[in-house]
C-alpha cells in the first residue's frame, strides 16, 4: 500500500512539473509576441506622433518642403515625383531623363555617399520659341530662359531607393549676372566719355595755333561732357527710383499734364529729327501743350490716376525720349492716354527700328543694349527704361513692351485710376470708369481712332491697319 501511494505521489509531482514547464514556455512566447508587436507598432507609427496618419502626413510634408522631390531606384526609374519636381521637365516615361542627374545618381549608388551639385540643363521651348501675345512683355516677366540651373542633392533613403532633391537656382544666377553686367557696364560708360575728354583736351593743346581745330575739338568736349553729365543724372534718378518709399507724393494726378510735360521736355530732340509727337485721350486728339495755370478749373476731359506726378512724368519722358532716339526722321511718335476698367493706360508708340524678340525680356535691365554699336551712335545712357520701370512700379503700376523688328515699338504703362471727384455744383470730374473700350495694345488705335476687341495684335503679328495709314507723308511734319 505504501509503495502505491509513493508511486502516485511521484506521478503527481511529475505532472505538476510538466504543467509548470509548459506554462513557462507559453509565457516566454507571449512576452516575445508582445515585444514584436510593440516594435512593429513603433515602425508603423509616424515620427510626429502615434495619432498622426502616416501617408497623409508624408504627402503634406513633401508639399511644404522648400525643395522639389523625386524618389527613384538606382537606375533612375521614378517611384514618386512631387508636383514641382514634375514641372522641371526632367522625367520621360517614368524615368529620369537628365543625363547630368543620372550621373550623380550613379555615383551615389556606387559608394552610398550623399552628394550635392549644381547643374545647368539646356531647355527647349519648341521650334517656334517663346510665344509672346499681343499684350506685350511685362517688365520683369521676360521670355523663358534657355538654361535651367538646378541644385541637386541625392541620397539613399532605403535599400535601393534614392531621394533626389531639386532647387531652382535660375533666378539667382540671372540676378548675379545682372549685377556683374551692371558693374562692368557702369565702369565702361563712365570711362568712355572721361577718356574722350582727356584725349580731346590733349589734342586741343597740340592744335593751339589752329582756331578751327580748337573750336571743333572744344565742341566734341562739350558733347562728351554732356554725355557724362546725363549718365550721372540718370544714375541719381535710378537710385532715387529704386529707394524704398521713394514716392511719398502718391496722390490724385492728371495724366494728361504729366504727358504734356514729358512731350515738352523732348520737343527740341523731336524738332531736330522732324518727328511729330502726338497726344490723344481715349483715341481723340488733344493739344500736346496746355496752359498749366495754377488754380485753374480742373478739366473734365482728362484722366486721373493715383500716382506720384514727378515719377510718372519721368517715366513718360524717358519713353518719349527713347522713341525719338530710335526712330528715323520724318516719322510719328504717339502718346495715348485712355481710361479703362479702373485703370489709366499710357502708351508711347513709335515707328522706329523695333526690338528683336530675344531682347524683349531684358530691355528694362540697367545698361542693357540691344545693339551697342547703334547705341553709341544714337547716344543715351542705357538707363532710361530701367528708370521708367522703377518709377511706374513704385506707384503701383506696370509697364510692358510690344515690338517687332522694323515695325516700331509700343510701351504701355498701366496705373490705378483715381476715384471720381464731385465739385460743389454737382459736376463730376475725372476718375475711373469703363471709358474708351479695350483698344489695340500695339498702338494702332492711338493714331487712327480704331478700337480693338481683345487688345491683341493682328493675325499676322502686324501693328494693324491704322498705324500704316498714319505714317503717310501728309502726316509728317515738325512738332508745333
pLDDT > 50? residue 452: no
pLDDT above 50: residue 436 = no
* Local structure of residue 472 (DSSP, 8 states): S
Find cell 509697364 and name the residue: 399
- Reduced to 3 states (helix: H, G, I; strand: E, B; else coil), residue 77 is strand
Q: Closest Cα to residue 182, out of 361, 385, 367?
A: 367
CB 107 within 8 A of CB 100: no
Collapse the DSSP code of 280 into the 3-class scheme (helix H, G, I; strand E, B; otherwise coil) and give the result: strand
Which range (127-141, 185-199, 218-232, 450-464) has the least confidence? 450-464
Homologous superfamily of 57-125+133-168 = PAS domain (3.30.450.20)
> Which is it for the CA torsion 431, 433, 437, 439, positive or negative?
positive
Instruction: Tell me what percent of the residues of the chain surpass a pLDDT of 90.
Output: 24
450 close to 330: Cβ distance less than 8 angstroms? no
CB-based contact 412:319 (threshold 8 Å): no
The CATH code that applies to domain 171-242 is: 1.10.287.130
What is the sign of the dihedral through the CA atoms of 280, 285, 289 and 291? negative
Rg (CA), the chain: 37
Topology annotation, domain 248-475: Heat Shock Protein 90 (3.30.565)
Model confidence at 320: pLDDT above 90: yes
pLDDT above 60 (res 32): no
Strand-strand pairing, 276-281 and 332-340: parallel
pLDDT at 404: 87
Q: Grid coordinates representing 112?
A: 552610398
**What are the structural domain ranges in the chain?**
57-125+133-168, 171-242, 248-475
Name the band, by pLDDT with cuts 50, 70 and 90, for residue 146: confident
pLDDT of residue 46: 65
Q: 94: which 3 cell numbers?
A: 517614368
pTM of the full structure: 0.57
Question: Could you give the CA distance from residue 114 to residue 163 in angstroms, rounded to a whole number?
Answer: 10
Look up residue 335 and give its three cell numbers. Answer: 502718346
**Cell digits of residue 305:** 490716376
Q: Which of 208, 189, 87 is nearest to 148 (CA)?
A: 87
In angstroms, how far apart are the furthest CA atoms of the chain? 160
Residue with cell 502726316: 475
Q: Which of 404, 412, 417, 305 is nearest to 351 (CA)?
A: 404
pLDDT digit string, tens, across residues 33-69: 444 444 445 556 666 667 767 777 777 777 777 788 9
The predicted pLDDT at position 37 comes to 43
Give the model's pLDDT for residue 324. 93
420 secondary structure, DSSP code: P
pLDDT category of residue 72 using cuts at 50, 70 and 90: very high
CA 239 – CA 363 distance, rounded (Å):
18
Rounded CA-CA distance 365/368 in Å is 6
User: Which positions ≥6 away from 50 have C-beta within 8 Å?
Assistant: none
Q: Given this chain, do its domains 57-125+133-168 and 248-475 carry the same CATH topology?
A: no
Q: Which residues contact 40 (CB under 8 A, 6 or more apart)?
A: none
Structure-block grid coordinates of residue 179: 549685377
Q: What is the mean pLDDT of the chain?
A: 74
- Tell me the Ramachandran region of residue 411: left when phi exceeds 0, alpha when psi lies from -120 to 50, beta otherwise: beta
Amino acid at each position: 500500500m505504501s509503495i502505491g501511494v509513493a508511486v502516485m505521489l511521484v506521478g503527481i509531482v511529475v505532472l505538476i512539473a510538466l504543467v509548470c514547464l509548459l506554462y513557462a514556455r507559453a509565457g516566454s512566447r507571449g512576452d516575445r509576441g508582445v515585444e514584436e508587436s510593440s516594435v512593429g507598432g513603433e515602425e508603423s507609427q509616424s515620427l510626429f506622433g502615434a495619432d498622426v496618419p502616416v501617408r497623409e502626413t508624408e504627402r503634406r510634408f513633401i508639399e511644404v518642403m522648400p525643395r522639389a522631390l523625386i524618389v527613384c531606384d538606382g537606375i533612375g526609374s521614378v517611384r514618386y515625383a512631387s508636383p514641382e519636381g514634375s514641372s522641371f521637365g526632367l522625367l520621360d516615361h517614368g524615368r529620369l531623363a537628365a543625363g547630368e542627374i543620372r550621373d550623380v545618381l550613379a555615383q551615389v549608388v556606387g559608394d552610398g555617399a550623399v552628394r550635392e551639385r549644381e547643374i545647368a540643363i539646356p531647355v527647349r521651348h519648341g521650334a517656334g520659341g517663346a510665344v509672346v501675345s499681343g499684350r506685350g512683355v511685362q517688365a520683369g516677366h521676360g521670355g523663358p530662359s534657355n538654361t535651367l540651373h538646378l541644385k541637386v542633392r541625392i541620397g539613399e533613403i532605403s535599400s535601393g531607393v534614392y531621394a533626389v532633391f531639386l532647387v531652382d537656382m535660375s533666378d539667382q544666377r540671372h540676378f548675379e549676372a545682372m549685377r556683374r553686367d551692371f558693374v562692368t557696364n557702369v565702369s565702361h560708360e563712365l570711362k568712355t566719355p572721361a577718356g574722350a575728354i582727356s584725349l580731346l583736351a590733349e589734342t586741343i593743346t597740340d592744335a593751339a595755333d589752329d582756331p578751327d581745330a580748337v573750336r571743333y575739338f572744344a565742341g566734341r568736349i562739350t558733347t562728351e561732357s554732356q554725355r557724362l553729365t546725363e549718365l550721372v543724372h540718370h544714375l541719381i534718378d535710378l537710385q532715387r527710383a529704386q529707394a524704398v518709399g521713394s514716392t511719398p507724393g502718391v496722390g490724385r494726378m492728371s495724366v494728361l499734364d504729366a504727358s504734356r510735360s514729358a512731350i515738352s521736355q523732348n520737343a527740341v530732340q523731336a524738332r531736330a529729327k522732324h518727328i511729330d509727337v502726338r497726344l490723344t485721350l481715349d483715341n481723340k486728339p488733344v493739344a500736346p501743350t496746355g496752359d498749366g495755370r495754377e488754380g485753374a478749373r480742373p478739366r473734365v476731359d482728362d484722366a486721373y490716376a493715383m500716382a506720384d506726378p514727378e515719377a510718372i512724368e519721368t517715366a513718360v519722358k524717358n519713353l518719349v525720349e527713347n522713341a525719338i532716339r530710335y526712330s528715323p526722321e520724318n516719322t510719328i511718335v504717339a502718346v495715348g492716354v485712355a481710361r479703362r476698367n479702373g485703370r489709366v493706360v499710357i502708351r508711347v508708340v513709335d515707328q522706329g527700328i523695333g526690338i528683336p524678340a530675344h531682347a524683349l525680356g531684358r530691355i528694362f535691365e540697367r545698361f542693357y543694349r540691344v545693339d551697342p554699336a547703334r547705341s553709341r551712335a544714337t547716344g543715351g545712357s542705357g538707363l532710361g527704361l530701367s528708370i521708367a520701370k522703377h518709377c511706374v512700379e513704385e506707384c503701383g503700376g506696370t509697364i510692358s513692351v510690344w515690338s517687332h523688328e522694323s515695325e516700331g515699338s509700343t510701351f504701355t504703362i498701366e496705373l490705378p485710376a483715381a476715384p471720381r471727384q464731385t465739385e460743389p455744383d454737382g459736376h463730376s470730374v475725372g476718375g475711373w470708369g469703363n471709358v474708351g473700350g479695350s483698344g489695340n495694345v500695339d498702338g494702332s488705335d492711338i493714331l487712327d481712332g480704331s478700337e480693338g476687341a481683345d487688345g491683341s495684335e493682328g493675325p499676322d503679328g502686324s501693328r494693324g491697319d491704322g498705324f500704316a495709314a498714319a505714317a503717310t507723308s501728309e502726316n509728317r511734319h515738325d512738332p508745333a
